[in-house]
Structure 1
Amino acid sequence: MPIRICLAAVVALLTAVLTAATGSALARPMLLISTENGPDHVQTLIVRRFVDRVRDCCADRIDVDHRFGGELYRDRDVLAALVQGKIGMAVAGTWQLDQVAPDTGAFMLPVFYGRTAEEAALVQDGPAVEAMNGQIEEGLGAIVLGRWIGLGFAHVFTTRTAVADVDDLAGLRIRSPGGVANAWRLAALGAEPVTIAWNDLPRALAEDRVDGLITTFATLDSVPLWTRGVRFALEDRQYFSHYVPLVSD
């Protein structure tokens, strides 16, 4: 089964790691968390809940500062910041992790295309994820704090072009959240993958620099991109996306 750690054990782990980093057990260590999405996104809401629980139980042992909305780092830069010790915690998408832990790209391979959430869960809750966690920890020098966070299926959303099937993606410029597997899959479907930071996407859509994007309904709902031209959806379950909670060692 994937790693599951109770809150008290997480706090003990974080305190030990951060105290070792500061070299002092007298002052409360600071856990600085950076995420990219806005206040209404599921990533932000879940991290806020984690922060509230840590503060409720252990305010005398550890301080927590959560910066969201890309205030500190965008997703493309957050792993480097974690490795360099500029932040203590990140909640990275599996599409960001495939360069340091290639097996995390498994959820984006063709075998998962169009699968059900139950089928994805068979892998998420199985031994394969334990092996992926090992790759992540070795590749980043980080600790996987707990169970991966399921964000849901990623689909294709477009602005001016209605898409009834994957053949309609040919020639379209589709924003990718990043990762080798996303770029390969879009290219194989005939689209042009374009990597744009999430905070820059509304403007890119308004300026017609892309014809659409890969994202989840939860993410689309957190920032009303239909006000920036998104009109159509191809609900094709490109892959089941996850966030991985990580703390620097």
Structure 2
Amino acid sequence: MRKQISRSLAVAGAVLGIVVGSCAAMAAPITIRVGWASPAVGPHASGANGFKAELEKLAPGRFKVELFPGGSLGGEREMAESVQLGSLEMAITGTAVIGNFVPELMVTDIPFLFRDYAHARKVMDGPVGETLLAKMKDKGLVGLAFGEVGFRHLTDAKRPIATVSDLQGLKIRTMENSIHLAAFRALGAQPTPMSWTEVITALQQGTIDGQENPLSIIVASKLWEVQKYITISNHAFTPVAFYVSPALYDSLSPEDQAILKKAAEAGRAANRAYVDESEKTGLATLKEHGMQVTTLDRAEFQKKLEPLYQQYRERFGPLIDEIQKQ
């Protein structure tokens, strides 16, 4: 009888061990690695940290979020491709890079298209933004939300830029984006597409003369260390996309998919809060570090770009109309 009881207890113990082991395996958190190219402090970083905090709050123990700033997982294009392949779970990158895969997203890069921050955010959070997120899904990138780095400005090490003639011959780093390249060529500059991870070194070595980015990135990257002049140009607005791999997204329940989107929206809010603060304090910070500030003649620049606007309308007509009427 004792042997039978012992055997029964042993069997029960084994079964319990299997059940406990199975439950432990089922409870193992899903790891989400989030990569971005800019520093560990900045608009991308604020968005990533906001996403992480909200996801772990909404689904405690169900997800483990690991953050990889500074291009440690590659440049923006490399990360986008990794997300497509499923070898990276999530990235936060500029939409200009994603435009290489989703051409419709390039509409956001048209110079002087957005009037101000209120206009840009209304567009990116509304039907236009939802349409663009859906286009991303068709190309193997599950878009969750659009944040931003803000309106872009020019910096350089050679001279103040107030007129189109001041840009002539300057080597300006741009993103790998055909609209940006065409615009700067039309303005007489020498646009040089380059991964952000290479920019500081290129500026230090004089390979390029300048670059263009929003205040949030200029301040976060301490560009006053390698640039003398900043031109307040507001020449283009740059959204950033929070997106995940289909491999991750499709493995989740509808409930967890909804939680992922809510977390991305919290990340968007944190990202925009950083941008707003940078807009309030950024210029003063740059002046404190010795940068000289110039404001360009927007009307002259827009007139110079008029031949390109016709091409934009032929390419993006309905989307441009939808954005402008907002």
Alignment TM-score, normalising by the size of structure 1? 0.83
In structure 2, the residue matched to 1:174 is 172
In structure 1, the residue matched to 2:232 is 235
In structure 1, the residue matched to 2:37 is 36
CA distance in structure 1 between the aligned counterparts of 2:27 and 2:244, rounded to whole angstroms = 21
CA distance in structure 1 between the aligned counterparts of 2:206 and 2:52, rounded to whole angstroms = 38
1:118/1:28 Cα in 2 relative to 1: closer, same or farther (>3 Å)? closer
Asked whether the equivalents of residues 108 and 238 of structure 1 are also in contact (C-alpha less than 8 Å), the reply is no
Alignment of 1:196-207 (within 5 A): 196-207=194-205
Asked whether the equivalents of residues 151 and 218 of structure 1 are also in contact (C-alpha less than 8 Å), the reply is yes
Which runs of 5 or more structure 2 residues have no equivalent in the other structure?
1-24, 247-326
Count of matched residue pairs? 222
| Partner amino acid, structure 2, of 1:126 | G
Alignment of 1:33-112 (within 5 A): 33-110=34-111, 112=113
In structure 2, the residue matched to 1:220 is 218
1:71/1:180 Cα in 2 relative to 1: closer, same or farther (>3 Å)? same
CA distance in structure 2 between the aligned counterparts of 1:134 and 1:52, rounded to whole angstroms = 26
1:57/1:133 Cα in 2 relative to 1: closer, same or farther (>3 Å)? closer
Aligned to 2:48, the other structure's residue is in SS state helix
Q: CA deviation at 1:25?
A: 4.2
Asked whether the equivalents of residues 112 and 234 of structure 2 are also in contact (C-alpha less than 8 Å), the reply is no
Q: CA deviation at 1:53?
A: 2.4
In structure 2, the residue matched to 1:121 is 121
More helix by share: 2
1:119/1:61 Cα in 2 relative to 1: closer, same or farther (>3 Å)? closer
Q: CA deviation at 1:122?
A: 4.1
Q: Deviations over 1:160-211 (max 9, x none)?
A: 1211123311211000122121111111111111122222212211111111
Q: CA deviation at 1:46?
A: 1.6
In structure 2, the residue matched to 1:11 is none
Does 2:144 align with 1:145? yes
Which runs of 5 or more structure 1 residues have no equivalent in the other structure?
1-23
Asked whether the equivalents of residues 27 and 62 of structure 2 are also in contact (C-alpha less than 8 Å), the reply is no
Aligned to 2:49, the other structure's residue is in SS state helix
- Greater gyration radius: 2
CA distance in structure 2 between the aligned counterparts of 1:109 and 1:213, rounded to whole angstroms = 17
Aligned to 2:225, the other structure's residue is in SS state helix
Q: Deviations over 1:80-135 (max 9, x none)?
A: 1101111101112111111221121112224517x322333342233222221121
Overall identity of the aligned pairs, in %: 23
In structure 2, the residue matched to 1:244 is 241
In structure 2, the residue matched to 1:19 is none
| Partner amino acid, structure 2, of 1:161 | R
Asked whether the equivalents of residues 112 and 236 of structure 2 are also in contact (C-alpha less than 8 Å), the reply is no
Q: Deviations over 1:130-165 (max 9, x none)?
A: 2211211101x222223x102210111111121112
CA distance in structure 1 between the aligned counterparts of 2:136 and 2:141, rounded to whole angstroms = 7
CA RMSD, Structure 1 to Structure 2 (Å):
1.8
Residue 186 of structure 1 is aligned with which of 179, 184, 190?
184
1:126/1:26 Cα in 2 relative to 1: closer, same or farther (>3 Å)? closer
Does 2:133 align with 1:133? yes
Asked whether the equivalents of residues 93 and 243 of structure 1 are also in contact (C-alpha less than 8 Å), the reply is yes
Does 2:162 align with 1:164? yes
CA distance in structure 1 between the aligned counterparts of 2:216 and 2:78, rounded to whole angstroms = 23
CA distance in structure 2 between the aligned counterparts of 1:124 and 1:105, rounded to whole angstroms = 13
Alignment TM-score, normalising by the size of structure 2? 0.64
Q: CA deviation at 1:239?
A: 0.9
Aligned to 2:236, the other structure's residue is in SS state strand
CA distance in structure 2 between the aligned counterparts of 1:244 and 1:223, rounded to whole angstroms = 20
